[in-house]
A and B are shown apart, each in its own frame.
Chain A
Amino acid sequence: MGELVVDKHVKYILSVEKRKDSFESVVLEHLRMNGAYWGLATLDLLGKLDALDSNEVIEWIMKCQHESGGFAGNIGHDPHMLYTLSAVQVLALFDKLNVLDADKVANCHPFLGLLNFMPDISGLQNEDGSFSGDEWGEVDSRFSYLAICCLSILHRLDKINVEKAVNYIASCKNVDGGFGCTPGGESHAGQIFCCVGALAITGSLHHVDKDLLGWWLCERQVKSGGLNGRPEKLPDVCYSWWVLSSLIMIDRVHWINKDKLAKFILNCQDTENGGISDRPEDAVDVYHTYFGIAGLSLLEYPGLKAIDPAHALPVDVVDRIFFQK
């Protein structure tokens, strides 16, 4: 089995910024905040977070914050819960949550202006307990996770009706034990992570049928050792995270073949230039590099920091947030 080419991956993450005029850079411009989280979390898991100047990163992040308290994917864009969580996670990585006004993020006010009554996380909760990603009302159990994870890191879960949010998530549960994006939506490993993660953070895992879901999740492992996100779909490195973290949260991770999965992830590395792809021989990107390394961390691969499966942050960062360690 090949080994994890740590130095190459560090080099790859640091080099992404230098790549000029790529298709990816134009398309990803508006979600650069997510990119920053994937890249920086990867560096931290590899023990190389200090390869970047934290002050520059933090300065840029704070420029993405809106009056309302929410964060945008980049400077000059609109805020969205997707980016607000990434911004909060990156600040947590650098132990800089103190630069935030947590109440402002959790409870920000609609900001003046003809068009923009911008999101505040707690103000986005719908009557049925679900969350919308922004004020335009996309409803999805993904957003329940984003809101709950973000408020949890900020110690502001009291700002929302947790019981209602939990009931909405429970209503997305299917007969196969999995969860969909809305009630009746197909079970999907990404949605399952969001639902199980939100339930774990709020101490509500009793809503999960662990044995049934555990079996559905371990059925996601295919012959190559990789995991898919739904029946009869191709394996993809990103599901190493979504499936594995869910299995850990429900204490069923030993039901899959860990060695085969680790081997699958390692086979997706570009051993020359660094980075990890979705499947062996495909082109690498930051997203899959992060999920590959986070997956290996969940598999306790030697030399990697441990990652918290619910908050998607290194365990030492989570300890700092919740136990002041």
Chain B
Amino acid sequence: MDAEEHQWRLSQDPEWADVTPIPQDDGPNPVVPIAYKPDFIETMDYFRAVYKANEFSPRALQLTHQAILLNPGNYTVWHFRRLILDALGIDLNEELNFMSGISERNPKNYQIWHHRRWIAEKLGTDAASKELEFTRRMFSLDAKNYHAWSHRQWVLQALGGWENELDYCHQLLEEDVFNNSAWNQRYFVVTRSPLLGGLEATRESEVKYTIEAILGNPGNESPWRYLRGLYKNDPKSWISDPQVSSVCLKVLSAEANHVFALSTLLDLLSHGFQANQEFRDAVDSLRPSNSDPADSDLAKTICSILRHVDPMRVNYWTWRKSKLPSPVSV
């Protein structure tokens, strides 16, 4: 019997002779009639029979395997499989092995991830390292798999295993510094890990790390947002920390994508940051020759430049400009 090849013929198998298959009822005139393949029809007909009879047996377990290979998205099958696993007291480590191949072939299937969580929950803290390793493998196929990230965050919070998580984030960012999922995970770790002491305790080293990433790729949206996140609920430090304004200045003075440096500087100015002449000169040098004349208000000049260099979002930058306080007439 080779379940992978879908060669199983239940109707000819003496082991199944006592079961009467139950056919699919699509109603007399289905709206969207479906022509199923014969092996799919047979498997599901027998599945319905064992499901209806609540048959918790090794052969029923094998049948769910077959049905899952044919359609891993059917959660009734998965649910029934869990009931059988429970009833038969199957070693759940075996079940995790069974899952691995299926997960790699169906990385975005909700049921598979849910099933894994069910198993891991039952196995408890022993499963933590296995699950972290498994998600690692999934990320080697797709480092932004939303389900896998969701699973990994759950594992960390429910079962533990935080020790190497920051290093792991670093490793993923080394591979692809544009990976927003890895930046998000980094934020998850610095804000939630019981081992690191929270945002304030990690801020200094994190700011340094982030600034390096920004200088490497100034057009990368993720570290800019991460940098801002490091000062959550503390806008005063964000405005007064010279590291923040100076990274803007460095990017503005370099041959690079300036959009995020300009928008960050705009945010700083809107929150009361006082820019010196160096900032004014750097911004001024970016003014396209055919743009509006330089405004004495630095923030307005920035908005004008952004309107020009980011035309897709011209309405947003126009709105930002309109929100700036008008100069007080003397």
Please state if A188 and B316 are interface contacts (CB–CB under 8 Å).
Answer: no
Note all chain B residues with C-beta closer than 8 A to A231. 178, 180, 221-222
Any chain A CB within 8 A of the CB of B229? yes
The residues of B that contact A57 with a CB separation of less than 8 Å are 31
Task: Flag B20-34 by CB within 8 Å of A: 1 or 0 each.
Answer: 000011110111111
CA distance A214 to B79 in the complex (A): 40
* Overall SS of chain B's interface: helix
Q: Say if the beta carbon of A59 comes within 8 Å of chain B.
A: yes
Tell me the chain A residues, 195-232 only, with Cβ under 8 Å from chain B. Answer: 214-215, 218-219, 221, 223, 230-232
B114 & A136 in contact (Cβ 8 Å cutoff): yes
Chain A positions within 8 Å of B79 at CB level = 78, 115, 136
- Let me know if B36 and A76 touch, CB within 8 A: no
Decide if B129 is an interface residue (CB 8 Å cutoff).
no
- Chain A residues with CB under 8 Å of B150's CB are 140, 181-182, 185
Residues in A with CB closer than 8 Å to B180 are 186, 230-232
The reply to whether A230 and B75 contact each other, CB–CB distance below 8 Å, is no
Known: A187-B184, A188-B146, A255-B316. A29 touches B36 (CB 8 A): yes
A128 → chain B closest CB, angstroms: 13
Contacts of B25 in A (CB 8 A): 63, 75-76
Please report the C-alpha to C-alpha distance between residue A63 and residue B179 in the assembled complex, in whole angstroms: 45
Tell me if B9 is interfacial: C-beta within 8 Å of chain A. no
- Give the CA-CA distance A76 to B179 in the complex, in Å: 42
Q: Map CB proximity to B onto A15-45 as digits: 1 under 8 Å, 0 otherwise.
A: 0110011000111011110011001000000
Which residue on chain B has the smallest CB distance to residue A79?
B76
Main secondary structure of the interface of A (DSSP, over half): loop
In the complex, the answer to whether B37 meets A30 with C-beta atoms within 8 Å is no
- In B156-176, the 8 Å CB interface with A consists of none
Residue in A59, A138, A180, A184 with the greatest tally of chain B CB atoms within 10 Å: A184
Is A176 at the interface (CB under 8 A from chain B)? Answer: yes
A20: chain B residues at CB < 8 Å are 35
Instruction: Determine which residue in A20, A185, A223 has the highest number of CB atoms from chain B within 10 A of its CB, and name it.
Output: A185
Is the CB of A60 closer than 8 A to any CB of chain B? yes
Q: Could you say which residues of chain A place their CB within 8 Å of the CB of B54? A: 114-115
Interface membership of A100, Cβ < 8 A: no
Residues on B with beta carbons closer than 8 Å to the beta carbon of A39: 32
Q: List the B side residues contacting A21 at CB < 8 Å.
A: 35-37
A255 near B319 with CB under 8 A, answer yes
**A175-B229 contact in complex given A29-B36, A136-B114, A257-B312, C-beta closer than 8 Å:** yes
| CB atoms of A232 and B179 under 8 A apart | yes
Task: Determine the chain A residues whose CB is within 8 A of the CB of B188 once the complex forms.
Answer: 184
Nearest B residue to A39 via CB reads B32
Q: Is B315 engaged at the interface, CB distance under 8 Å to the other chain?
A: yes
Inter-subunit contact A17/B83 (CB<8 Å):
no
In B9-48, the 8 Å CB interface with A consists of 24-27, 29-37, 40, 48
Q: For residue A264, give the distance in angstroms from its CB to the closest CB of chain B.
A: 12
Closest chain B CB from A256 CB (angstroms) = 7
The count of residues in chain A whose C-beta lies closer than 8 Å to any C-beta of chain B is 58
Indicate if B279 sits at the interface (CB-CB under 8 A): no
Q: Known interface pairs A115-B54, A186-B180. Does A175 touch B228 (Cβ–Cβ under 8 Å)?
A: yes
Is A11 positioned at the interface, with any CB of B under 8 Å from its CB?
no
Shortest A112–chain B CB gap in Å is 13
In the assembled complex, A236 has its CB within 8 A of some CB on chain B: no
Determine whether B130 belongs to the interface, using a CB cutoff of 8 Å to chain A. no
Kindly identify, within residues 292 to 330 of chain B, every residue whose CB is under 8 Å from any CB belonging to chain A: 312-316, 319
Q: Are B32 and A16 in contact (CB under 8 A)?
A: yes
CA A56 – CA B32 in complex, angstroms? 11
List, in ascending order, chain B residues with CB within 8 A of A136's CB. 75, 79, 82, 114, 118
Interface residues of B in 32-72 (CB under 8 A from A): 32-37, 40, 48, 54, 70-71
Q: Known contacts A26-B36, A186-B181, A256-B312; is A181 also within 8 Å of B31 by CB? A: no
Q: Is the CB of A233 within 8 A of B144?
A: yes
Q: Is A254 an interface residue (CB 8 A)?
A: yes
Per-residue CB contact flags for chain A residues 227-267 toward chain B (1 = under 8 Å, else 0) read 00011110000000000000000000011110010000000
List 21 A-B residue pairs with CB atoms under 8 Å apart, sorted by A's residue number. A25-B35, A26-B36, A27-B73, A31-B73, A35-B32, A78-B76, A114-B54, A115-B54, A115-B83, A136-B79, A175-B225, A181-B146, A184-B188, A215-B316, A219-B313, A221-B313, A231-B178, A231-B180, A231-B221, A232-B179, A255-B315
> Which 10 residue pairs of A and B lie closest in terms of their CB atoms, listed nearest first?
A175-B229, A20-B35, A186-B184, A255-B316, A231-B180, A17-B32, A78-B76, A232-B178, A21-B35, A25-B34
Chain B residues within CB distance 8 Å of chain A? 24-27, 29-37, 40, 48, 54, 70-71, 73-76, 79-80, 82-83, 110, 114, 118, 144, 146, 149-150, 153-154, 178-181, 184-185, 187-188, 191-192, 221-222, 225, 228-229, 232, 312-316, 319
Known contacts A36-B31, A115-B83, A185-B153; 8 further A-B pairs (Cβ under 8 A): A17-B33, A21-B37, A25-B36, A26-B40, A75-B27, A78-B75, A181-B150, A232-B179
